[in-house]
């Protein structure tokens, strides 16, 4: 192939071998254009979701495969994105572990008896993950719905997900969302046996849960470590890196790419890279190219529009979208997304506009393979 020959002449040629363009981008394979999806793409900003939510609680939706799959499919189709994330919640595994929680309107999740001692951790069960199979059933329905290629010839990617040990432990220990993670860090710093047993139990449950999702048809597993940014590099390294690496390694061994995601992680990126996740999520606080440099060329990146930019006037929003695509520079391994989830009140039309711009940007702007490789080699 000559230097100036386009990398992709037809979509089929480009996207066929490794599955959908979304999966190929996770693996840093060339794609015809940048794939795009959004964190929390099915949620309260979307009237279709609110219509379902009027009649069902959040947990009812999660636990009823017919409804969870419908909500997942509706959001992906309405937006025209390249991947569907299964509608579920991070905290669902708490129930089979023996930890009761509920979602209180306006307050988020509440765990009634937070974990505070070794005895509490010892009592957590790891043998009832079968109770979570409703999520796998929902994935089966979504996978069946999206089995055939879409009009553009590409197959939609199906994303399963779970929490990471630190972020889940923080909800278990604090009992709700937290600003300073005082109780979590107290256990982390002072109670080695309690912390390590909790990490170990969470990894056991999460691997089994991820396995159910992969068997049901998830193409990729995203691991949410949403609150890892609360940790210093030393603490992340000392208390979280080993169990999280174990989780990533075992989920990858199921045969799917792993996306590892956190917020406020700029300083943690080089350490997170050691886990060898296929893709790292970047939040908007770091320019995409800088974030990519921090994780190195051997890793794909996902991100990183500030979700609040979706409230900006069209010219500002388009400017930010173009900036991200320009910084990615056509290198294989970029998945367009937000730096964190879509928030309630976001105009749906703006989300759809972003999808259209990402799609248009890729068309007619193929990057030559050699150019991409050498450019990246220089930058890395
Ligand atoms: O399309 C999608 O991405 C939706 C599926 C989804 C939900 N939760 C449904 C949900 C996903 C991927 C999650 C993950 C999740 N849950 C995370 C990690 C993602 C992130 O934002 O970093 C976390 C931290 C949770 C725990 C959780 N669930 C919290 C803190 C809250 C309250 C947040 C709020 O804005 O009130 C939830 C509730 C929740 N989970 C909602 C949805 C759509 C909104 C509440 C509702 O519909 O009643």
**Got the DSSP string for 301-370?**
EEEEE-GGGGGS-HHHHHHHHHHHHHHHTT-SSEEEEESSPPPTT--HHHHHHHHHHHHHHHTT----HH
Q: CB under 8 Å to 140, separation ≥6 — which residues? A: 65, 216, 217
DSSP reduced 3-state for 261: strand
Residue 272 has phi, psi (to 5 degrees) of: -60, -35
Q: Name the closest-CA residue to atom 3, ligand 1.
A: 40
Ligand 1 pocket check for 89: Cβ under 6 Å: yes
Q: From the CB of 153, is ligand 1 less than 6 Å away? A: no
Q: Is the CB of 42 under 6 A from ligand 1?
A: yes
Ligand 1 pocket check for 45: Cβ under 6 Å: no
Non-local (6+) Cβ contacts of 84 within 8 A are 37, 72, 73, 75, 76, 142, 146, 156, 157, 158, 159
Backbone φ, ψ for residue 108 (5° rounding): 85, -160
- Given a cut of 70, is residue 16 above it in pLDDT? no
**Smallest CA separation from ligand 1 atom 41, residue:** 43
**Which residue minimizes the CA distance to atom 37 of ligand 1?**
108
Rounded Cα distance between 122 and 110, Å, is: 21
**For strand 108-111 and strand 279-281, is the pairing parallel, antiparallel, or unpaired?**
unpaired
Task: Please tell me if the CB atom of residue 53 comes closer than 6 angstroms to any atom of ligand 1.
Answer: yes
Q: Separation of 5 CA from ligand 1 center, angstroms?
A: 44
Determine the distance separating the centroid of ligand 1 and the alpha carbon of 2, expressed in angstroms: 47
Tell me how far the alpha carbon of residue 367 lies from the centroid of ligand 1, in angstroms: 37
- H or E segment and range at residue 248: helix 241-252
226 lines ligand 1 (CB under 6 A): yes
How confident is the model over 29-38, as pLDDT tens digits?
999 999 999 9
Q: How far, in Å, CA of 50 to CA of 63, rounded?
A: 17
pLDDT at 3: 34
Report CA(343)–ligand 1 centroid distance (Å): 10
Give the span between the Cα atoms of 90 and 243, in whole angstroms: 17
Cα→Cα distances 348→285, 343, 345, Å = 24, 11, 9
More confident residue, 44 or 372: 44
**Statement: residue 250 has pLDDT above 80:** yes
- CA 108 to ligand 1 center in whole angstroms: 8
268-280 pLDDT tens trace: 999 999 999 999 9
378 pLDDT above the threshold of 80: no
- Residue 8: band (very low, low, confident or very high) from pLDDT cuts 50, 70, 90: very low
pLDDT band, residue 2 (cuts 50/70/90): very low
pLDDT at 373 over 60: no
| CA-based radius of gyration for the chain | 20
Q: Which two tokens stand for residue 59?
A: 């947990």
- Smallest CA separation from ligand 1 atom 48, residue: 58
Indicate which atom in ligand 1 lies nearest the CA of residue 62: 9
Beta bridge partners of 313: none
Q: What are phi and psi of 44, to 5 degrees?
A: -70, -15
Residues 157 and 83 sit within 8 Å (Cβ to Cβ): yes
| Any atom of ligand 1 within 6 Å of the Cβ of 166 | no
Q: Tell me, using a 6 A CB cutoff, whether residue 96 lines ligand 1.
A: no
Q: Can you tell me which atom of ligand 1 is nearest the CA of 53?
A: 47
What is the widest separation between alpha-carbon atoms in the chain? Answer: 65
pLDDT of amino acid 12? 42
Mean pLDDT value of segment 287-294: 98
pTM (two decimals): 0.92
User: Is residue 13 scored above 80 in pLDDT?
Assistant: no
Q: Does residue 72's CB lie within 6 angstroms of at least one atom of ligand 1?
A: no
Give the CA angle between residues 73, 57, 311 to the nearest 5°. 60
pLDDT at 1 over 80: no
């Amino acid at each position: 192939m000559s230097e100036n020959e386009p990398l992709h002449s037809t979509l089929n040629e480009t996207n066929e071998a490794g599955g959908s363009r979304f999966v190929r981008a996770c693996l840093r394979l060339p794609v015809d254009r940048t794939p795009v999806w959004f964190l929390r793409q099915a949620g309260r900003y979307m009237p279709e979701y609110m219509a379902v939510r009027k009649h069902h609680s959040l947990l009812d939706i999660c636990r009823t495969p017919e409804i969870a799959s419908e909500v997942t499919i509706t959001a992906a189709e309405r937006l025209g994105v390249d991947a569907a994330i299964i509608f579920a919640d991070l905290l669902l595994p708490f129930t089979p572990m023996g930890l009761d929680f509920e979602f209180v309107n306006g307050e988020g999740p509440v765990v009634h008896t937070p974990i505070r001692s070794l005895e509490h951790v010892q009592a957590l069960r790891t043998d009832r993950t079968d109770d979570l199979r409703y999520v796998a059933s929902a994935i089966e329905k979504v996978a069946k719905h999206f089995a055939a290629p879409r009009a553009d010839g590409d197959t939609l990617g199906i994303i399963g997900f779970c929490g990471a040990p630190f972020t889940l432990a923080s909800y278990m220990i604090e009992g709700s969302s937290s600003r300073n993670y005082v109780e979590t860090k107290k256990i982390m710093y002072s109670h080695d046996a309690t912390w390590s047993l909790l990490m170990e139990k969470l990894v056991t449950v999460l691997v089994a849960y991820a396995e159910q999702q992969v068997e049901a048809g998830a193409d990729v597993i995203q691991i949410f470590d949403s609150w890892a940014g609360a940790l210093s590099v030393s603490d992340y390294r000392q208390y979280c890196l080993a169990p999280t690496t174990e989780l990533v390694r075992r989920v990858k061994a199921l045969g799917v790419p792993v996306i590892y995601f956190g917020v406020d992680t700029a300083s943690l990126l080089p350490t997170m890279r050691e886990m060898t996740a296929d893709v790292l999520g970047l939040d908007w606080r770091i320019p995409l190219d800088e974030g990519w440099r921090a994780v190195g060329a051997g890793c794909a990146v996902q991100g990183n529009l500030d979700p609040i930019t979706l409230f900006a006037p069209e010219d500002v929003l388009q400017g930010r979208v173009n900036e991200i695509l320009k910084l990615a520079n056509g290198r294989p391994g970029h998945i367009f997304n937000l730096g964190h989830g879509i928030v309630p009140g976001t105009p749906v039309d703006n989300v759809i506009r972003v999808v259209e711009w990402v799609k248009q940007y890729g068309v007619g702007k193929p990057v030559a393979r050699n150019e991409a490789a050498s450019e990246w080699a220089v930058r890395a």
